A and B are shown apart, each in its own frame.
Chain A
């Protein structure tokens, strides 16, 4: 038995008890069960029963806050994705080597700067996340306490709240990182990085042009001298 919507607004007015599996979000029913049974067999069991992974988790979790792991995984995914784009840019035959390098650097910066920004933002909102979690908990515990539930229903409701509670801070971290990576970066940081790249390229080209001009001027100056020398020698 599962209490659907026990933590939903208007709970007092519509607490519905339904018989449904709580296991899947959309992959429900026999087909979904078959798929998840299959993935449990080919993937889940190797992680759930891995001695090494468990030992690693036990040791690592004693050294740092496990709540931040969600952020690290998001960053790891983004780092890999960014590197794919950088490799693609470097291999793109449409760009000359200089431009490709500049663009790849831009893409790298487009990963580093938002990552730093996301970590800093997440750090500064840590207290807010904590307080929101407390508030979420208090509001929903109140609701559950005020509902007329059987002990069994209350137990199910509390279990569900417990699971949701564990996810509140992770949810806010995910939203922070995703907003920075998927909105702030392409809309704000990438154009800025491109401008810096363009400015940098223009600067290099201007320097090269100036060097070329100086070289040409030098050559022009040298030619009459050489001619004079020849004449003198003659």
Chain B
């Protein structure tokens, strides 16, 4: 079933009545004012939402860089970039991916050991020196206590859960059933997990329903360097993509590129990307010409005879062999070529071809571009496994289930840990470290309230 995306797809859910299905099973969407009202639900482009709302046109010149949003400016800030490229941030994300609780208690440890005592000692306010010292030591000890318990109890418990999920092949039908594995991974070909004798294969040998290597990750999709217009790429890059290019011909324009022996310069089909701009929103999306869906080609080249382009991937013919609707040779404008090269781009974008899927969240329905898993057979012509709706939904459920597995021990032990902290910490500080807060008159109301402030009975957030 093909979906023509020349109209507003965001409103698909709310406006099912506006869809009509023709004999070939294609969905055509009518345009309406009601759709226009839906403009604000701009989808997440990284997760490849279809942001096109109006008619599309092919881009034949360099794309102007859009104005950066505040969030983009923050992410592009030098300090932020340096921070997210640091070993500490990287280690923290690595630990977070396995043990969120440990990151929480680790960051709390840092705050309780350094930041809070520092603030208390530097800005004592109306407290006396002894009370500040007590509060600082209490903060440090509560931070340590708040780290030790998760480290010794929660972390090994969660590791037990993670092990089963990570190395499913070791625990099939022991700790996790085959049906549960299938529910977690709807794209898995279950017949591939067993040997002929019924023993379970290593996960590396499992394959998915499209016959590719089985990959559990739905988030890390196949990406490309953001394509650049042919007029913008460097001479070196041009030489890389146009064999034997006479670089002096570059100045004559993309349609006049010639080789050193004067012939028309040739670029491989796999290296050509085209860009489509949504006339209404001004958004631009990039498609590999080798894999672009028919609806994309139709929008990009209205005069093209779609039957002349061949299939997709290796079956697609080079534009030199395409025909127009009236049977003449198709004149492919080289100015519509965009080149995706790592050396040219800072940003990476998901590889999309124009295929779309529905995404239902509560009552909201979004149409999103289909992305591909990082399991291409050859890394070039083969796209990788298409991430379909069932996979995305299983991915959400996996995330939720894994987060429950990760946080449940923390929540269950929160009360006894807090009770133990209240009972043990003041005792330890008094009898082991001989640090005690100043005694205040019992009846005096403000003083009694201050006891809380002085951390003898700390607030709930002072314990991990």
Contact = CB atoms under 8 A, between A and B. Distances in A.
Interface of A: 5, 7-9, 23-27, 32, 35-45, 47-49, 51, 53-54, 57-58, 60-67, 69-70, 73-74, 76-86, 88-89, 92, 94-96, 98-99, 102-103, 106-107, 110-111, 114, 127-128, 130-139, 141-142, 145-146, 151, 155, 158-168, 170-171, 174-175, 177-179, 181-183, 185-187, 190-191, 194, 197-198, 201-202, 205
B93 A66 contact: no
| Interface size class, chain B | 35 or more
B446 A23 contact: no
A131 B71 CA distance: 6
Interface stretch (B72-80, B270-278, B312-320): B72-80
Nearest to B126: A191
Contact of B157 (A39, A63, A82, A151): A39
Given A80-B415, A162-B374, A43 B94 contact: no
Contacts of A89: 452, 457
Contacts of A45: 164, 171, 174-176
Nearest to A84: B418
Contact of A178 (B74, B108, B161): B108
A67 B396 CA distance: 9
A36 B380 CA distance: 40
A168 B180 CA distance: 27
A99 B448 contact: yes
A77 B417 CA distance: 11
Given A25-B95, A62-B361, A132-B84, A158 B220 contact: yes
B75 A135 contact: yes
Interface stretch (B96-104, B280-288, B290-298, B302-310): B96-104
A106 B458 CA distance: 11
Interface in B419-464: 419, 422, 442-443, 445-446, 448-453, 455, 457-463
B86 to A, nearest CB: 6
A80 B81 contact: no
Contact of B401 (A26, A47, A62, A67): A47
Contacts of B449: 99, 102-103, 106, 194, 197-198, 201
Nearest to B347: A138
A1 B76 CA distance: 34
A66 B92 contact: no
B405 A44 contact: yes
A171 B69 CA distance: 22
B176 A48 contact: yes
Contact of B446 (A79, A177, A202): A202
Given A70-B100, A158-B374, A171-B96, A181 B461 contact: yes
A77 B448 CA distance: 27
Contacts of B116: 182-183, 186-187
B164 A44 contact: yes
B452 A25 contact: no
Contacts of B69: 127, 131
B155 interface: yes
Closest 8 A/B residue pairs (Cβ): A39-B160, A162-B220, A82-B460, A84-B418, A131-B75, A45-B175, A127-B71, A167-B96
Interface string B114-129: 0110011000010000
Contacts of B445: 98-99, 102, 198, 201-202, 205
Nearest to B220: A162
Interface centre among B116, B177, B184, B448 (most CB of A within 10 A): B448
Given A58-B393, A102-B449, A194-B452, A128 B74 contact: yes
B38 interface: no
A167 B100 CA distance: 9
Contact of A85 (B87, B167, B458): B458
Contact of A191 (B183, B379, B410, B453): B453
B381 interface: no
B155 A25 contact: yes
A41 B171 CA distance: 10
A8 B401 CA distance: 29
